[in-house]
């Protein structure tokens, strides 16, 4: 059999680049995406851009706009809160399982500690894209330490929407500091093997993030 190319194919690369733009608001909600212009900026033909946009459309990240056009969708405050309610239950389970396994999974423990060290290094100059990546890395470390691969498999399709919602609040200096303080608390309970406390702090963190994001998203509506 012919060996597979280990590098991502062009459609995957274009998809990832557009998704990054949507996440860090280089392509803000309501932005009209012109396929020819985007293809030129990325230095590719129009075909991979078209395929990538259709993948993003199926995920609800872009919507059809005009003749063969797309625009970045708006974030729905209610939908985001609902996602965080579900994520809260999943994160709580993951934290509890991780605390139960932390003494027997040295690699998983080391990975969680590594994500904490990276998070402690953030400051007001840290780019938004980096903040989001570090936040995702922290939670994924807990999912992996839980020893239950179904957890990450279930949450993976929602990460694009979660990453967009993170951008809403992580742009604020006070919130990014508060978020990492809460991460430290969750991790401390996991690393000490306190499953009940880890479960409770993970649930509280997710629900607070959901409420905060929902409030931020509703602020333009109130202003209008």
Residues with Cβ within 8 Å of 7's Cβ and at least 6 positions away in sequence, in order, are none
Q: Where are the domains of the chain?
A: 10-72, 77-223
CA gap 113, 57 in Å, rounded: 36
pLDDT tens for residues 101-118? 999 999 999 999 999 999
Q: What is the pLDDT of residue 5?
A: 52
pTM reported for the whole predicted model = 0.87
Task: Give the pLDDT band of residue 171 (cuts 50, 70, 90).
Answer: confident
The answer, yes or no, to whether residue 4 has pLDDT greater than 50, is no
**How wide is the angle at C-alpha 19 spanned by C-alphas 69 and 112, nearest 5°?**
165
| 77-223 belongs to CATH 3.40.1190.20 | no
Higher pLDDT, 185 or 171: 185
On whether the CB atoms of residues 20 and 160 are closer than 8 A, the answer is no
**Mean pLDDT across the chain, nearest whole number?**
90
| 10-72 belongs to CATH 1.10.10.10 | yes
């Amino acid at each position: 059999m012919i060996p597979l190319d280990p590098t991502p194919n062009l459609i995957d690369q274009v998809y990832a680049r557009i998704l990054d733009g949507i996440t860090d608001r280089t392509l803000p909600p309501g932005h009209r995406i012109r396929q020819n212009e985007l293809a030129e900026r990325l230095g590719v033909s129009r075909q991979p851009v078209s395929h990538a946009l259709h993948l993003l459309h199926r995920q609800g990240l872009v919507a059809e706009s005009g003749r063969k056009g797309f625009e970045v969708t708006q974030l729905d405050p209610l939908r985001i809160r609902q996602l965080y309610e579900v994520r809260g239950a999943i994160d709580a389970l993951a934290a509890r399982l991780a605390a139960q396994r932390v003494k027997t999974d040295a690699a998983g423990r080391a990975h969680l500690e590594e994500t904490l060290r990276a998070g402690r290094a953030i400051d007001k100059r840290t780019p938004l894209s980096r903040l989001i990546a570090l936040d995702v890395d922290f939670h994924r470390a807990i999912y992996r330490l839980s020893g239950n691969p179904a957890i990450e498999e279930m949450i993976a399709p929602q990460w694009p929407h979660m990453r967009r919602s993170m951008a809403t609040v992580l742009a604020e200096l006070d919130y990014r500091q508060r978020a990492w303080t809460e991460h430290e608390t969750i991790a401390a309970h996991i690393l000490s093997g306190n499953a009940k406390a880890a479960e409770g702090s993970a649930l509280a963190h997710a629900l607070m993030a959901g409420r905060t994001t929902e409030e931020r998203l509703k602020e333009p509506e109130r202003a209008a």
